[in-house]
Amino acid sequence: MGQVLCSTGALIGMPNNRNYKLLKQLSEKLSCDGYEFMMYSSWYDESDRIADYLQSIGLFTPVMHCEKHIGEAISRNETDEALRLFTINCQMAKKIQAKKLVIHLWDGILSDGNFQNNLETYRQLADISNRYGLCLLVENVVCNRQNPMKHWLELAGLYPDVHFVFDTKMAAFHNQLGLLYQEEYSWLWKDGYIKHYHINDYAGGYMEWEKLRSLPIGEGNINFGEFFSFIRKIKYNDTFTVEATAFNQQGEVNTDMLEQCFRYIRQKLQE
C-alpha cells in the first residue's frame, strides 16, 4: 500500500501566522505516514532554520512542495530570480531528506499566459533538481489560457524524462479527471510519468474560479470511489498527499477531518 502523506500547507497558513513550530504538536495528533512540506515565500530568510527544526523533531518529509511563485516569476520573464529561488528550495529539500520536489511550473494571475517561457525553462529546473538528487514533479496546475493536460503533453513531447504529480481538484476544475482513465492517456501511468498524487475534493463546475478550494474528501463532487478503483487497477503503490485545508480563520486545525481522509484513502487502497 502506498504512503498517505499530509501537506504541511493544510496545517500551517496565514491564520496561524505560518508558525512552523506548530508542526511538532500537530504531528503528534496525526496518523499519516509522513508529510509533504510546503514552502512559503516569507520563509526564504529562515530556510536553514526551518529545515533544522523539521529535522530536530524527526518529521518525515519524503516530498517537498516548492514555493508557488517560482513558476509565476518564470512566466513574467524573471527567470534568473526564479532559478535562484528554486535552488534554495532544492537545498532545503535535500536538507530535510525529501526525494520528490513538486513545482507549479506556471502559476498566479499570468498563469500559462506565457507558457513558452515555462516550457523552455523546465530543462534548467530539472538539471538543478537532479544535482540535488531530487525527482522534480510538474503539477497539473489550473490554467486561464489552455489546460494542464495540453501542457503536460507539450512537456512530455519535449522532455521524455519529465515526471508529474496529478492533483484531483486541479483536474476536476478543468473537467480532466476522467482523462486519467482513458486509454489515450494510459502512457501517464504505464510509462511511469505520474510519480505522486494530490488528493483534494472540488465542489464546482468547469473552471469555477470562486470555488477553487482544497476540500476534504466527500465535501465536493469528485467520485473518489472510481478514482481509487483505478488506482488499485493500475497497482500504483507510491505516495499520496492529502491537501484539504484543515485550519479555520482563527488558525485552529481540524485534525479529526484529516484523520477521516487518511482512513478513507487507506480503506480504499485495501479494498
Question: 135-139 and 100-103 as β-strands: parallel, antiparallel, unpaired?
Answer: parallel
For residue 237, give the amino acid letter: N
Rounded to whole angstroms, the Cα distance separating 17 from 134 reads 29
Instruction: Encode pLDDT of 91-146 as tens digits.
Output: 999 999 999 999 999 999 999 999 999 999 999 999 999 999 999 999 999 999 99
pLDDT tens profile 215-226: 999 999 999 999
* Structural domain count, the chain: 1
Whether the Cβ atoms of residue 128 and residue 83 lie closer than 8 Å to each other: yes
What pLDDT sits at residue 1?
81
The residue written with cell numbers 499530509 in the block is: 6
Q: What is the mean pLDDT of residues 5-22?
A: 98
Q: How many helices (H) and strands (E) in the chain? A: 10, 8
Q: Which CATH number goes with the domain that contains 59?
A: 3.20.20.150
Report yes or no: 244 and 215 within 8 Å, Cβ to Cβ.
yes
Q: Give the domain range for residue 250.
A: 3-270
Look at the pTM and tell me if it is higher than 0.95: yes
138, 162 Cβ separation under 8 angstroms: yes
Tally of CB atoms within 10 A around 225: 10
Q: What is the pLDDT of residue 47?
A: 97
